């Protein structure tokens, strides 16, 4: 949204405000002139009159106009707004500057100024100030001040940290400066806000982080579950209510902290509930930022789907999982070169058991930290070889660990992507696939594209081409600047990907996206005639054209449920003229007269009886 939005843009914002649609959370903020308060569009208060509303693209712009954040809807919980471009150089530079200012690790620098930020980006301070104000409507220091104050507001409302600790965590050099800035912006002292906050002191360190729906929570849970490394990570099974827990080590502002965190989604409120241990409370802003990146909470599905929906219509809710530590992700990416996910997980678990530090936690199953870069840099080849790691990957891990340990390589979302990718590819044993994968998950680059990935070639149907990587690269031009999301959607479309199996409650009706026609039950699926009944897992979709006899060549099962969870009702009802066993005759064992097991009747071609 521009500094002076058009009447049509203002009307669209007002309609979104009236609908309280979470999809627009954080995309704009509404300032109410009659109260002097600004809110995200999901605020539950009574909708203000149209003539009393002003709309802003960023919270910093609303505060610069004299508005204060709402104490009920709490704008600090809203997801961030990220705009990506591959052509606008000024926009790219402004976004890179904003990412540096969003990083809590940079707040501890007392010498942080526009000049220091411009020197890091390689431009003049005048040029940086000009393009930043054009993109965000505020100066870089105003933007930074809003980020610090909103972070402090969240810590005051959700934690029992002392005010002095809140000031230091939010990047203020002294409590006096913190109090002065807080009163000037919010017309409340920090202690007054804590008394008026939703989370009283002593309630524990639990915070809520907003996101924009749709969000495919089950698919993300399956992705993390298949890659969890014990005893560092733990994914508690569940359909949409799974929990993720892990140990972590955080270094921020010269402070190092170790502890654990636990996260669970609250789809009803479009929020992630995060619980952290007391050991990492002092670096909570850094932990929150890493959690937002790890779960991709700041993604804008509407912008992504506008580019990818026509190519991948079934992946609108998919997110690109990030990481909690860039070095850990890079090591695990090297371990996963040319082997399966399960084999890479086994190697990572052996590495944690051998080189990881023990950590006492209150969560069963979490007892170690991932190894430090210094520990792996000093590890001998024999020690790594004893874990089953081949020599080429040993050299890659040691070179990577040495580069990170000495500070020559930083793997975080605030680093420059092209130069970091070039530095990664200069290390022995790290090629384009590994560098792109690290850029996708650790550097949070939405346009990363591992063109040489074999699974990607299969999903795109180019594995038989003479140069599949080149063909995939050419095809991906239409997906810019969201190619990372396109890769996740392509991977999830593979037939053997467990993420494709959507979890359906036992007694819920079939979805409208795949209508059921009872007239076609009995003609959609078939099972080879055998005397035993092994379950629905043996029934496959028949995609033979009409008139062709014999079993179908496809191996896609008709039933989404595990083998043995369904039973046939009777032999008489199970026989028909077109199938030996029909899906119409098979019911869920937990509900004999419930919905049929097969969800594919309208998607299968009517076969001829084998």
pLDDT band at 87 (very low <50, low <70, confident <90, very high): low
- On the question of a cis peptide bond just before residue 578, with omega within 30 degrees of 0, the verdict is no
Q: Please, which residues have CB within 8 angstroms of residue 407's CB and are 6 or more apart in sequence? A: none
Q: What mean pLDDT is predicted for residues 89-112?
A: 78
Tens-place pLDDT, residues 435-485: 999 999 999 999 999 999 999 999 999 988 889 999 999 999 999 999 999
Residue 79 has pLDDT above 70, yes or no: yes
- State pTM to two decimals: 0.73
**What CATH code is assigned to 89-196?**
1.10.10.60
Please list the active-site residues.
39, 453
* 274, pLDDT greater than 50: yes
pLDDT in tens, 380-395: 999 999 999 999 999 9
- 327 phi-psi bin (left φ>0, alpha ψ -120 to 50, beta other): alpha
CATH no. of 209-492: 1.10.340.30
Q: Is the pLDDT of residue 213 over 60?
A: yes
What long-range pairs does 6-12 form, CB within 8 A, spacing at least 24?
9/55, 10/53, 10/55
Q: pLDDT tens across 329-384, in order?
A: 999 999 999 899 999 999 999 999 999 999 998 888 899 999 999 999 999 999 99
- In the chain, where the domains are located: 7-77, 89-196, 209-492, 509-610
Record: fold of 7-77: DNA Methylphosphotriester Repair Domain (3.40.10)
Beta bridge partners of 586: 568
Residues 383, 375 contacting (CB under 8 angstroms): no
**C-beta of residue 245 within 8 angstroms of C-beta of residue 366:** yes
Strands 68-69 and 233-236 come out as unpaired
């Amino acid at each position: 949204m521009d500094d002076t939005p058009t009447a049509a843009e203002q009307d669209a914002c007002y309609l979104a405000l009236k609908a309280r649609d979470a999809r627009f959370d954080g995309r704009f903020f509404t300032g109410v002139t009659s109260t002097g308060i600004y809110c995200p569009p999901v605020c539950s208060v009574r909708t203000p009159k149209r003539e009393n509303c002003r709309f802003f693209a960023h919270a910093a712009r609303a505060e610069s106009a004299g508005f204060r954040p709402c104490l009920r809807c709490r704008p600090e919980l809203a997801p961030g707004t990220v705009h990506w471009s591959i052509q606008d150089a000024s926009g790219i530079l402004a976004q890179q500057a904003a990412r540096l200012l969003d990083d809590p690790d940079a707040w501890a620098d007392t010498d942080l100024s526009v000049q220091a930020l411009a020197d890091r980006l390689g431009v003049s301070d005048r040029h940086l100030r000009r393009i930043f104000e054009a993109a965000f409507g505020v100066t870089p220091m105003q933007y930074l001040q809003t980020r610090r104050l909103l972070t402090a507001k969240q810590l005051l409302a959700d934690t029992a940290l002392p005010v002095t600790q809140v000031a230091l965590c939010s990047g203020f050099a002294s409590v006096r400066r913190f109090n002065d800035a807080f009163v000037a912006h919010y017309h409340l002292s920090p202690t007054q806000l804590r008394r008026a906050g939703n989370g009283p002191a002593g309630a524990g360190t639990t915070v809520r982080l907003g996101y924009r729906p749709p969000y495919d929570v089950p698919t993300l849970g399956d992705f993390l579950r298949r890659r969890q490394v014990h005893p560092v990570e733990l994914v508690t099974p569940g359909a949409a209510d799974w929990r993720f827990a892990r140990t972590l080590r955080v270094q921020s502002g010269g402070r190092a902290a170790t502890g654990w965190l636990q996260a669970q989604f609250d789809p009803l409120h479009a929020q992630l509930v995060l619980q952290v241990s007391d050991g990492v409370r002092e670096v909570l802003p850094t932990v929150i930022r890493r959690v937002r990146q790890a779960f991709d909470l700041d993604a804008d599905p509407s912008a992504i789907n506008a580019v990818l929906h026509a190519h991948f219509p079934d992946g609108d809710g998919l997110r690109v999982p990030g990481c909690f530590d860039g070095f850990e992700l890079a090591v695990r990416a090297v371990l996963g070169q040319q082997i399966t996910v399960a084999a890479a997980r086994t190697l990572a678990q052996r590495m944690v058991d051998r080189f990881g530090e023990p950590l006492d936690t209150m969560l069963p199953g979490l007892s170690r930290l991932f190894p430090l870069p210094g520990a792996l840099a000093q590890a001998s080849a024999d020690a790594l070889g004893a874990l089953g790691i081949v020599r080429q990957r040993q050299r890659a891990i040691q070179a990577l660990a040495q580069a990170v340990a000495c500070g020559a390589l930083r793997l975080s979302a605030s680093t420059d992507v092209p130069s970091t990718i070039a530095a990664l590819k200069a290390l022995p044993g790290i090629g384009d696939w590994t560098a792109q994968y690290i850029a996708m998950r650790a550097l949070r680059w939405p346009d990363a594209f591992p063109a040489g990935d074999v699974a990607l070639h299969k999903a795109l149907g180019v594995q038989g081409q003479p140069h599949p990587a080149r063909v995939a690269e050419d095809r991906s031009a239409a997906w810019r600047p969201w190619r990372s999301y396109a890769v996740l959607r392509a991977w999830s479309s593979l037939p053997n990907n467990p993420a494709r199996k959507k979890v359906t409650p036992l007694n819920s009706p079939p979805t409208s996206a795949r209508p059921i026609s009872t007239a076609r039950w009995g003609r959609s699926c078939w099972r080879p005639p055998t005397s035993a009944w092994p379950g629905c897992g043996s029934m496959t979709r028949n995609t033979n054209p009409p008139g062709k006899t014999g079993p179908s060549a496809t191996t896609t099962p008709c039933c989404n449920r595990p083998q043995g969870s369904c039973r046939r009702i009777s032999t008489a009802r199970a026989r028909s003229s077109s199938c030996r066993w029909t899906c119409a005759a098979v019911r869920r064992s937990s509900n004999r007269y419930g919905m049929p097991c097969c969800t594919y009747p309208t998607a299968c071609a009517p076969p001829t009886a084998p």
